[in-house]
């Protein structure tokens, strides 16, 4: 609707923008570099962030950085994940059918990973998303999975991605000391600051193909205040503002329009 009004070829504030057109904040760039390093060294990494701060975006970028000729990426996102379904999901991505007993499946997985490493000359990277929802049994199983050749080497790189409670309410507790001690890299994604919010908006508008300057500096500041620097909320505030501007036949979005849509859409203070 508003895309035609503003002369856009693409919708700017959606989550399916190609990774090479996304805004790369310094925090994301740093996190991405550290993840690639962890993958190359077969490390155990943990990524945490508040909701909407770019965890899924980081995973997409991470996948894009890993060359398929060098890495085998395995990805699972399941809030009800159990050891049995962990091995079934990973084996399925490797083209194998899991055994009824999870212990047998684990050995099958370790053997197949070794084959990928030695025969295909690839490094295996396993990403478990929504990891803050994993129970103690599942987290303990990951520790056992990483035990390999008398704990002398890791069979693969493991990346846990989840909300901040993964660390604050689980991994930092004494009950999880054994698995916490195995973590090689702890990555925390923060929110965007005011300047980064402006660059984020500009990058998304550039992707849309519009030749117009749409958001005033005051509007960008208001977007930052309302979203508190959370990318997901920046998208929603900007989208609502563009729609409202289109309805009002306004070519420019100012701070008053942003505040109006935020109040009426209940987006104030970063809460919908």
d(CA 193, CA 14): 20
Q: At 222, is the pLDDT very low, low, confident or very high (cuts 50, 70, 90)? A: very high
According to DSSP H, which parts of 26-133 are helical? 26-40, 55-65, 83-93, 102-118
Confidence tier at 271 by pLDDT (50, 70, 90): very low
The fraction of the chain above a pLDDT of 70, given in percent, is 96
Query: Is a pLDDT exceeding 60 seen at residue 272?
Result: no
| Both structure tokens of 64 | 């894009």
How far out from the chain centre does Cα 245 lie?
A: 31
Give the pLDDT of residue 67. Answer: 87
Which of 46-66 are b and which e, b meaning 16 or more Cβ less than 10 Å from the residue's Cβ? bbbbbebbbbbbbbbbbeeeb
Counted residue by residue, the chain has a size of: 272
Q: Work out the pLDDT band at 193, boundaries 50, 70, 90.
A: very high
Q: What share of the chain is helix, strand, coil (3-state, %, to 5)?
A: 55, 10, 35
pLDDT at 148: 64
User: DSSP letters of 143-168?
Assistant: HHHH--TTTTS-SSEEEEEEETHHII
On average, the pLDDT of the chain sits at 92
Q: 184 and 45 in contact (C-beta within 8 Å)?
A: yes
Range in 195-199, 209-213, 267-271 the model is least confident about = 267-271
pLDDT of residue 152: 52
Query: Using CA atoms in the order 229, 56, 142, 33, what is the torsion angle rounded to 10 degrees?
Result: -80
pLDDT surpasses 80 at 149: no
Q: Which two tokens stand for residue 228?
A: 């508190």
Given a cut of 50, is residue 213 above it in pLDDT?
Answer: yes
- Report the percentage of the chain scoring pLDDT > 90: 82
Residues near 140 by Cβ (< 8 Å), separated by ≥ 6?
178, 179
User: pTM of the prediction?
Assistant: 0.91
Q: Is the pLDDT assigned to residue 119 strictly greater than 80?
A: yes
Cα separation, 7 vs 213, whole angstroms = 11
Residue 254: CA count within 13 A, CB half-sphere? 3
Rounded-to-integer distance, Cα 234 and Cα 214, Å: 15
State the pLDDT at residue 65: 93
Higher pLDDT: 155 or 230? It is 230
What is the pLDDT, as a whole number, of residue 266?
74
7-52 confidence digits (pLDDT tens): 999 999 998 899 899 999 999 999 999 999 999 999 999 999 999 9
Contact 66, 51 (CB under 8 A): no
Residue 198 to residues 183, 195, 204, 215, Cα–Cα distance (Å): 35, 5, 10, 9
Average pLDDT value for residue range 124-152: 85
Q: Give the pLDDT mean for 130-153.
A: 81
Secondary element (H or E) of residue 186: strand 185-189
Long-range residue pairs from 176-180, CB within 8 A, at least 24 positions apart, any chain: 176/136, 176/139, 178/140, 178/143, 179/139, 179/140, 179/142, 179/143
């Amino acid at each position: 609707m508003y895309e035609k009004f503003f002369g856009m070829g693409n919708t700017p504030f959606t989550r399916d923008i190609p990774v090479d057109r996304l805004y790369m904040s310094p925090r994301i760039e740093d996190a991405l570099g550290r993840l690639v390093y962890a993958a190359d060294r077969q490390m155990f990494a943990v990524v945490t962030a508040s909701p909407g701060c770019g965890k899924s975006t980081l995973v997409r970028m991470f996948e894009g950085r890993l060359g398929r000729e060098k890495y085998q990426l395995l990805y699972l996102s399941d809030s009800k994940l159990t050891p049995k379904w962990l091995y079934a999901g990973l084996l399925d991505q490797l083209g194998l059918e899991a055994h009824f007993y999870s212990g047998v499946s684990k050995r099958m997985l370790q053997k197949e990973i070794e084959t990928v490493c030695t025969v295909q000359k690839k490094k295996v990277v396993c990403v478990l998303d929504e990891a803050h929802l994993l129970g103690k049994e599942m987290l303990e199983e990951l520790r056992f999975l990483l035990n390999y050749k008398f704990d002398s080497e890791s069979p693969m790189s493991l990346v846990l991605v989840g909300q901040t409670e993964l660390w604050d309410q689980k991994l930092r507790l004494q009950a999880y000391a054994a698995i916490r001690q195995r973590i090689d890299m702890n990555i925390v994604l923060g929110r965007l600051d005011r300047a980064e919010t402006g660059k984020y908006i500009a990058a998304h508008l550039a992707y849309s193909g519009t030749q117009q300057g749409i958001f005033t500096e005051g509007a960008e500041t208001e977007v930052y205040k309302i979203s508190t620097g959370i990318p997901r909320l920046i998208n929603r505030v900007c989208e609502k503002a563009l729609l409202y501007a289109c309805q009002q036949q306004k070519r420019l979005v100012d701070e008053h329009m942003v505040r109006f849509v935020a109040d009426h859409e209940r987006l104030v203070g970063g809460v919908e």
